[in-house]
Amino acid sequence: MQFTATLIGDAATLARTHAGMLAHLPATLHASILVELQKWPTLFEPEHRYQRALLEHLSGLPKSSLDSATAGIARIEEQAGINKVTDRHPAGFQDAAQALLRQRGQQVAWRSEVDGFFRTIDPALEARLYPADAPRRVVVQIYGSGIAVQRDKLWSRFKGAGVRVPLDLAAAKSTDPFLRQLLGAPDGGGSPALLDAASAASPLDAWLVESHEALHDICDAGQTKSAGGGATGLSYDRLRPYRDGLTRALNSKIQSGVESPQAFAAYARSLQIAPPAGALLYSADVLVAFVRDVLLTGNGTLLMNNTFVEWAAVQAIKRAQPRVLITRFGVRDKLRPFSSMVMFSQPRPSDQLPSVQDPAGSFVDVEQLSYYVWLNAEKTPAYRGKTLYLFLAEGVDEMLAIRSDRPAATASGLPRARLADVYATMAQWLGSPPAGHSGQPIEPLITGT
């Protein structure tokens, strides 16, 4: 099937190079690849590599193998009468095809066939994109102060995984020293060494995603915020003006009437609102598009700080694949009675009820959300088998460490470690041991013994 796709640069070249193969694919598959290629300027480099690998792999298959791999999808398309869809724009075609599949009761079967197709080709793509000597990664998840941590339930989703490491927090009683020592940021305003080392090649190699601003404050103090260096950072609190702008626009649309959920989604996509200067540590166009996607397509990300953290972290893992990812969850507010039922409504000047925090509910939430970040990382080949996961809670004198290549639980018995030691462990894991730093790597985590 011929589509009218708006492609530029490398995406246009790729589509031209593989035009024969693409035209041979079932139309729904063809359209979905073109939809991705149309997003090229807003895709991260790992996504570019994946699209190239996908097209080259499919073009390299013998025609009979390609036919065989896509036969199930083609059969369902025929049964559903997909060839009757006349829209030649890939996204429009996709919408029309999905509607047709649903009307014909074929959507579930089609989806199953598509999943089966990718299960067939993914191993080859993963072997090509993520060889055994691919770089190691670190994912750190922090429960911020204020969350009502229940020690007996802490990290309860990870039963049977990792090792609990006792911590010495004598010099890290409050948030700022806790985070500084953990990230290797010197007292008095130096930049976090862990982030500096990881982001030397690109800010997109080190990400901070947090509900509040403590991590961003440390980066600011270290003056790591610059166009060419430092980390990539997303703070729910710092994005407030942007969130408010989006929320106001969506609320206004709701108040004036929405003809359908599809029309509402289209309106949301059309909004020309951008984060204000300084809201992002690194504000490349691809990041601005990413934040917008996170806030407009994630469940509850405009409304719930910790949901934002989880969703943004998972999307970063899937799409940008940073070497270092640090999440810091916080306390969320309780939903306001009644007015919270109206999506995107905001407090009014005449409202007298103050926002009320929910520390206990926040703990329940972040236990689940931090688990999801870990699960999604482990589903992503860039992280699977190559990642050291650390879970910490400010004020709690132990951490959970999971090596993804040796996830089984081990009895601790480890001596108490300082946060400086935890930093040294992460640096060592990433292959950039700190020079002249007082921390000592926790050897059992590095050696796995």
Partner 1 sequence: MPPVSPRTLDPSAALRRRDLLRMMAACMVDWWLPRRLFAQRIAASRKPERRVIVVTFGGGVRYEDTLAPEGWVNIPHLASELVPQGLVYPVARHEGLTGHFNSTGAIVTGTRQNVDAYGSEAPVTPTIFEQFRKEHALPPEEAWVIATNKSFGLMGGSKLRAFGDPYSANVVLPKQLLIKTIKSAVSTNSGPGVEDRRALAERMMLALDEGYEGFGWRVFESERTLGPELKASLAKSLLDYFNDPAAPTSGDELTFFMTKEIMNRFAPSLLVVNFWDIDIAHYGAFSLYLDAVRRTDRLVHELWQHAQSLPAYRDRTTLMVVPEMGRDSDVAGNGFANHRSGDESCRRVWLVALGAGVPKGVGSQRPIRTLDVAPTVAQILGFKMVECEGRPLPELAF
| Least gap, CB of 1 to partner 1 (angstroms) | 24
Q: Which residues contact 84 (CB under 8 A, 6 or more apart)?
A: 100
Stretch near partner 1 under the rule CB under 8 A, chosen from 39-47, 169-177, 188-196, 298-306: 298-306
* 344 neighbors 160 (Cβ within 8 angstroms): no
Q: Which residues contact 392 (CB under 8 A, 6 or more apart)?
A: 140, 141, 142, 143, 167, 182, 399, 422
Of 342, 415, 440, 443, the one binding partner 1 (CB under 8 A) is: 342
Of 38, 70, 307, 380, the one binding partner 1 (CB under 8 A) is: 307
Q: Which of 373, 335, 241, 341 is nearest to 295 (CA)?
A: 241
Question: What are the tokens at 271?
Answer: 């909004």
| Least gap, CB of 21 to partner 1 (angstroms) | 28
Residue entry with tokens 């650390």: 390
- Total residues at interface with partner 1 (CB under 8 A): 48
| E strand or H helix at 324 | strand 324-329
Of 150, 299, 355, 438, the one binding partner 1 (CB under 8 A) is: 299
| Least gap, CB of 368 to partner 1 (angstroms) | 4
In DSSP terms, which residues pair with 164 in a beta bridge? Answer: 400
Of 146, 229, 245, 361, the one binding partner 1 (CB under 8 A) is: 361
| E strand or H helix at 143 | strand 137-143
* 279 neighbors 36 (Cβ within 8 angstroms): no
- Residue 319 contacts partner 1 per CB under 8 A: no
- First and final C-alpha spacing in the chain: 56
| Least gap, CB of 251 to partner 1 (angstroms) | 9
> Exposed e or buried b for every residue in 34-60, given b needs 16+ CB within 10 A?
bbbbbebebbbebbebbbbbbbeebee
| Least gap, CB of 163 to partner 1 (angstroms) | 22
Stretch near partner 1 under the rule CB under 8 A, chosen from 64-72, 319-327, 347-355, 406-414: 347-355
- Residue 306 contacts partner 1 per CB under 8 A: yes
- Residue 321 contacts partner 1 per CB under 8 A: no
Q: Which of 48, 321, 328 is nearest to 204 (CA)?
A: 321
In DSSP terms, which residues pair with 167 in a beta bridge? Answer: 417
The footprint of partner 1 on residues 205-224 (CB under 8 A) is none
Of 132, 227, 353, 356, the one binding partner 1 (CB under 8 A) is: 353
Instruction: Give me the half-sphere count of Cα atoms (radius 13 Å) on the Cβ side of residue 11.
Output: 18
Give 127 or 360: the residue with its C-beta nearer to partner 1.
360
- Residue 266 contacts partner 1 per CB under 8 A: no
Of 19, 23, 266, 360, the one binding partner 1 (CB under 8 A) is: 360
- Residue 318 contacts partner 1 per CB under 8 A: no
The footprint of partner 1 on residues 171-210 (CB under 8 A) is none
Tell me how far apart the alpha carbons of residues 276 and 246 are, in angstroms, rounded to a whole number: 12
- Residue 438 contacts partner 1 per CB under 8 A: no
Q: Which of 251, 287, 246 is nearest to 269 (CA)?
A: 246
Q: Which residues contact 6 (CB under 8 A, 6 or more apart)?
A: 38
| Least gap, CB of 254 to partner 1 (angstroms) | 8
Give 2 or 368: the residue with its C-beta nearer to partner 1.
368
Binding letters toward partner 1, positions 94-133, x by CB under 8 A: --------xxxx-xx--xx---------------------
The binding site for partner 1 (CB under 8 A) comprises 102-105, 107-108, 111-112, 254-255, 260-261, 298-301, 303-304, 306-307, 310-311, 332, 335, 337-339, 341-342, 345, 348-353, 358, 360-362, 364-365, 367-369, 371-372, 375
